[in-house]
Amino acid sequence: MSAARQGVLDARRIVVKVGSSSLTTAAGGLDADRVDALVDVLAKARSGGEKEIVLVSSGAIAAGLSPLGLRRRPTDLARQQAAASVGQGLLVARYTASFARYGVRVGQVLLTTDDTSRRAHYRNAYRTLDQLLAMGALPVVNENDTVATDEIRFGDNDRLAALVAHLVRADLLVLLSDVDGLYDGDPSQPGTSRIDEVRGPEDIAHVTIGSVGKAGVGTGGMATKIEAARIAAAAGIPVVLTSASQAADALAGRETGTLFHSTGRRSTDRLLWLQHASAPQGHLVLDDGAVRAVTERGSSLLPAGIAAVEGDFVAGDPVELRAADGRAVARGLVNFDAKELPQLLGRSTRELARELGPEYEREVVHRDDLVLLQG
Ligand SMILES: Nc1ncnc2c1ncn2[C@@H]1O[C@H](COP(=O)(O)OP(=O)(O)O)[C@@H](O)[C@H]1O
Ligand SMILES: N[C@@H](CCC(=O)OP(=O)(O)O)C(=O)O
C-alpha cells in the first residue's frame, strides 16, 4: 500500500460527504436501500471504536420532491427551500432508523455560512460537533437550506464538506458521488479515463468538466468537487473522491477513486471559512498606505486609511477590502455598522475616542479577523 493510501487507512477522524445522486431513486425520493448500504459501510468503519465519522449528506431537496408532488428539482429558491424542509426531516429519519440497526445515535447539524464566519458561531459549531463525536454519536450535517438566502448560501455541499473537515480537524475527507472518481473529461463520453492521484493543480490542468450527473438532482457537479478537494488539500487534509458503492474500499485504503494529496499545512484557522464561505455584505475602499499596511505588514485596518464605504452591513458582517482601483485585496469582519463609518473615515482613533467616546478607539477590521486574497 502506498504511503498516501496508508494515510487514508490510518485516518482517525473522517468527514464523508454523500451527494443527492447517491441517495435517491431515478423516480425521485429517497432510496432506502442505498441509504442502508452507505450506513452499513460507515457503521462498520467506526465499529472498532478507533474512527470517528462526520457525515455531510445532501439529498434534502431531492427527498422532498415527490412528497410535494414536484416532478423535478425547482429552480426558484422558495420551492427548493420548501422541498428541503420536507426532505431534511425524511432524510434524518431515514439515517436515524438505519444507524439504529447498529445502535448508533445520529445528531442533525444544520449550518449556514453566517454561522461559520462569525467567531462565536464558529466556536459553537466546532464544540457541538466535537461533543457529538465524544459522546459516540454520528453527526449528519447539511446546509440549513430553509433559512439560507441566495446571498449567503453555500449552495453546494462539496465546499461545505471541505470546510467542515477543516472545522473538525479531520484527517481525511471522502467525497462520494455517482461517479467513481475524477475523469479527464465527461465520463459519459467514450475515451475518457479516471485520474488516480492529484498532487497539485498541474495534474488536473487538462481535465474538462461535463454537465451535472444524469439524475439531475445534484447541484455542483464535478467543478465543486474539485474546488472542495483543493480547499481541503490546501488545509492539509487529503481527499478521496469515489462512488458511494466503493466507499468501503476507499475507507480501507484500497486503490480506488481519485486521491488528492494534501498540499498545505494543517491549521485550525477559522479564516478559511471567511475566505471560502462568506459572502461580503459590502466593501471598504482603502487608500494606498492602508493597502500596504494590511497586505505587506499584516496590520489591522484603521479608520484613517479608509476612503469610502459601500453596502448595508452591520458590525460583525464580512466585508471586502478594496484598493482604490477596485481590486479586492482582503476580506474581513467589520467592527462597525455601515451607517456609523462615514463620520470616522480618514480620522485617527485617538481623535475619535476623544470626540465620540472610548468605544471608537478601535480598528475597523482587526488583523485577526482579516484574510488576504491572492493575486
Ligand atoms: N471530468 C469529470 N469527471 C467525473 N465526473 C464528471 C466530470 N464531468 C462531469 N461529471 C459528472 O459529474 C457528476 C457528479 O456531480 P453531481 O451530480 O453534482 O454529484 P453529487 O450529487 O454526487 O454531488 C457525475 O455523475 C458526472 O457525470
Ligand atoms: N443542501 C442541499 C444539497 C445541495 C448539494 O450540494 O447537492 P449535491 O450536489 O447532490 O451534493 C440538499 O440537501 O438538497
- Testing ligand 1's pocket by substitution, the residue of 23, 73, 154, 177 carrying the most ligand atoms inside 8 A of its CB is 177
Ligand 2 binding pocket mutation candidate from 23, 157, 214, 241 (most atoms within 8 A of CB): 157
Calpha distance 238→232 (Å, rounded): 7
Contact 62, 88 (CB under 8 A): no
How much distance in Å is there from the Cα of 112 to the middle of ligand 2? 13
User: If we measure between CA atoms, which residue out of 357, 21, 41, 80 comes closest to residue 212?
Assistant: 21
pTM (predicted TM-score): 0.82
How does pLDDT run across 327-346, given as a tens digit for each residue? Answer: 999 999 999 999 999 999 98
Q: Grid coordinates standing for 35?
A: 441509504
Beta carbon of 218 within 6 Å of any ligand 1 atom: yes
* Closest CA relative to residue 294, chosen from 308, 283, 307, 305: 305
Q: Does residue 218 carry a pLDDT above 60?
A: no
Predicted confidence (pLDDT) per residue in 235-289, tens digit: 999 999 999 999 999 999 999 999 999 998 776 566 777 777 677 889 999 999 9
The helix (H) or strand (E) run that includes residue 89 is helix 77-100
Instruction: Decide if 3-273 and 280-372 have a common fold.
Output: no
Number of residues that this document lists for the chain: 375
Which residue of 160, 179, 188 sits with most ligand 1 atoms within 8 Å of its CB, as the best mutation to test the pocket? 179
Q: What CATH architecture is 280-372?
A: Roll (2.30)
Which ligand 1 atom is nearest residue 20's CA?
A: 21
The answer to whether the CB of 251 is under 6 A from ligand 2 is no
Q: What does the domain layout of the chain look like in residue ranges?
A: 3-273, 280-372
**Cβ–Cβ < 8 Å for 370, 295:** no
The finding on whether 188 has its CB within 6 A of some atom of ligand 1 is yes
**Residue type, position 83, single letter:** A
* C-alpha 145 – ligand 2 centre gap (Å): 9
SS3 content of the chain, % helix, strand, coil (to 5): 40, 20, 40
Q: Among the bound ligands, name the one nearest to the CA of residue 59.
A: 2
Pocket test for ligand 2, best of 61, 141, 150, 214 (most atoms within 8 A of CB): 61
pLDDT, tens only, 7-59: 889 999 999 999 998 998 877 789 999 999 999 999 999 998 899 999 999 99
ipTM of this model?
0.95
Architecture of domain 3-273: 3-Layer(aba) Sandwich (3.40)
Q: Is the pLDDT of residue 153 over 80?
A: no
List the single range of 13-22, 112-121, 185-194, 319-328 with lowest mean pLDDT.
Answer: 112-121
Cβ 61 under 6 angstroms from ligand 2: yes
Among 155, 151, 177, which residue's Cα sits nearest to residue 38? 177
DSSP classification of residue 301: B
**Nearest ligand, measured from the Cα of 182:** 1
Please work out whether the CB of residue 212 comes within 6 Å of at least one atom of ligand 1: yes
Residue type, 262: S
pLDDT of residue 262: 92
How many other C-beta atoms can be found within 10 angstroms of the C-beta atom of residue 199?
14
| Beta strands 306-311; 258-260: pairing state | unpaired
